[in-house]
Amino acid sequence: MPSADIGLIGLAVMGQNLVLNMDDHGYTVAVFNRTTARTTEFLSGPASGTKVIGTRSVEEFVAKLRPPRKVMLMVKAGRAVDAVIEQLVPLLDEGDIVIDGGNSHFEDSARRTSELGELGLLFIGTGISGGEEGARHGPSIMPGGEPAAWPEVQGILQAIAAKVADGTPCCDWVGAGGAGHYTKMVHNGIEYGDMQVIAEAYHLMSGGLGMTHPEMASVFRRWGEGLLDSYLIDITADILGHVDEQGEPTVCSILDAAGQKGTGKWTVISSLHLGYPMTLVAEAVYARVVSALVDQRLEAAGVLGQGAPTDGGGAGRFGDGFVDDIHDALYASKIVSYAQGFMLLEAAATEYGWDLDYGRIAQLWREGCIIRAAFLDDITAAFERRADLPSLLLDRFFTDALRKAEPGWRRVVAAAVGRGIPVPAYSSALAFYDAYRSERLPANLVQAQRDYFGAHTYERVGRPRGEFFHTDWTGTGGSATSGSYQA
């Protein structure tokens, strides 16, 4: 007899915790995992005493589900998702729903939405953020795909999601096709940026100011109670305060080679495709790439020396109030990063025809996920003031915040450069801030160069956009021009 409200395939860390979360909320969940031993261990371990129904084959699993069947996949993103869908399709009926909750690429989700749609099946590709803890007690959930599926799964997804203070769930329909996974991808890109701006503060405090780990932990603890109130600042305070068996800071024995799983890179690639700046996230991704070149860095430190040369590099100003300046550099850079993230979402919405509610997306990230922060309320307020805000940098709250933070931000970047301490996120954010508010940039020269060597043409000051000109720069060129298009 079909008795399960929903089924979940993939009992690794995320799947197991989501199942227990659904069970807590009164849903009967059937589960299946490719390796049966994992199912057995789950049922006799974390799921013992729950209503969870274990199954040993996909056929048995599907037979347990009440129609319209709802199947959630929490398997490794990529080929595994298609492999599981292939197994499921012959066993499902028209109107059944497949929900992919893994970190799938948004283009795969768009493809799966239309491929399953042609078979009469409803597909949802949903980003889920919050890691193990979020999955167990309330993640941020960003569903997209086939809109007709949403009313069928809204109850269960909103029940298991994190809630903001007034009880609103951090889960809402994002948009059609790949919109849910796109939003999760941008979330993860922003997460890379948030981690990098915090890491730069740590580098400046430890390498620049020579602060001890307990001192740094207490600064982050204090910052977490102010404008920077967020999960990542809080866990940084915990990490810096943690000591090993020898009483040494645990973080000091961790190799400084950062890993990555690809969602930051995807965000930057998408920004390049759409022609929108995600400079801070790009720097954060590259900072991890540079950190991973451990052997080369060690050799270079020996050959080139570390920090700035004493005879000409400049000492940089690391004096009184510098911790407050670092706070301001971090906060301003974070504003730039989120501004870029929302600009990218707006560009993607235009490109892919999504009707995104940016203020609501900020609230989906308010609790449950890794980038959760009080700051997201300010973003929601900005989009409430103006729904089609082209950039958060144009909203009065953020304009004021940047103006206040700017002197400290500049002092930090200048001092870091003087001392030879890399601050790629702070400095690229500052470069973007300066470029974005420049009435005139040197791109006229770039256009002239392009026209000089490739007859790529240029537009003129004071003439309508889209009207192109060519100059015979050497007097020996012809009048033929290259096609003008934006790559």
Whether 404 sits among the annotated catalytic residues: the reply is no
Catalytic residue among 64, 184, 265, 334: 184
Position 89 contacts ligand NBP (CB under 6 A): no
Pick from 6, 8, 11, 199: which binds ligand NBP (CB under 6 A)?
11
Q: Which is nearer to ligand NBP, 211 or 361 (CB)?
A: 361
Q: Which is nearer to ligand NBP, 185 or 227 (CB)?
A: 185
Closest CB to ligand NBP: residue number: 102
Pick from 8, 14, 170, 216: which binds ligand NBP (CB under 6 A)?
14
3-state secondary structure the chain: CCCECEEEECCCHHHHHHHHHHHHCCCCEEEECCCHHHHHHHHHCCCCCCCCEECCCHHHHHHCECCCCEEEECCCCCHHHHHHHHHHHHHCCCCCEEEECCCCCHHHHHHHHHHHHHCCCEEEEEEEECHHHHHHHCCEEEEEECHHHHHHHHHHHHHHCCECCCCCECECCCEECCHHHHHHHHHHHHHHHHHHHHHHHHHHHHHHCCCCHHHHHHHHHHHCCCCCCEHHHHHHHHHHHCECCCCCEHHHHCCCCCCCCCHHHHHHHHHHHHCCCCHHHHHHHHHHHHHCCHHHHHHHHHHHCCCCCCCCCCCCCCCCCHHHHHHHHHHHHHHHHHHHHHHHHHHHHHHHCCCCCHHHHHHHCCCCCCCCECHHHHHHHHHHHCCCCCCHHHCHHHHHHHHHHHHHHHHHHHHHHHHCCCCHHHHHHHHHHHHHCCCCCCHHHHHHHHHHHHCCCECCCCCCCCCCECCCCCCCCCCCCCCCCCC
32 to 51, contacts with ligand NBP by CB under 6 A?
33-35, 38
Q: Which is nearer to ligand NBP, 139 or 408 (CB)?
A: 139
Pick from 43, 63, 80, 235: which binds ligand NBP (CB under 6 A)?
80
Q: Which is nearer to ligand NBP, 6 or 11 (CB)?
A: 11
Position 84 contacts ligand NBP (CB under 6 A): yes
Distance in angstroms (rounded) separating the CA atoms of residues 348 and 345? 5
Catalytic residue among 146, 191, 283, 346: 191
Position 424 contacts ligand NBP (CB under 6 A): no
Interface stretch with ligand NBP, choices 30-38, 226-234, 277-285, 390-398 (CB under 6 A)? 30-38
Mask 121-160, x = binds ligand NBP (CB under 6 A)? -------xx-xx----------------------------
Q: Which is nearer to ligand NBP, 10 or 177 (CB)?
A: 10
Pick from 54, 102, 177, 408: which binds ligand NBP (CB under 6 A)?
102
Pick from 31, 74, 99, 121: which binds ligand NBP (CB under 6 A)?
74
Amino acid 103 reads N
Amino acid 75 reads V
Pick from 13, 272, 315, 441: which binds ligand NBP (CB under 6 A)?
13
Whether 283 sits among the annotated catalytic residues: the reply is no
Q: Which is nearer to ligand NBP, 84 or 219 (CB)?
A: 84
Nearest distance from residue 187's CB to ligand NBP, in Å? 10
Pick from 24, 50, 68, 76: which binds ligand NBP (CB under 6 A)?
76
Q: Which is nearer to ligand NBP, 13 or 301 (CB)?
A: 13
Nearest distance from residue 75's CB to ligand NBP, in Å? 4
Which spans of this chain sit near ligand NBP (rule: CB under 6 A)?
A: 10-15, 33-35, 38, 74-77, 80, 83-84, 102-103, 128-129, 131-132
Catalytic positions: 184, 191
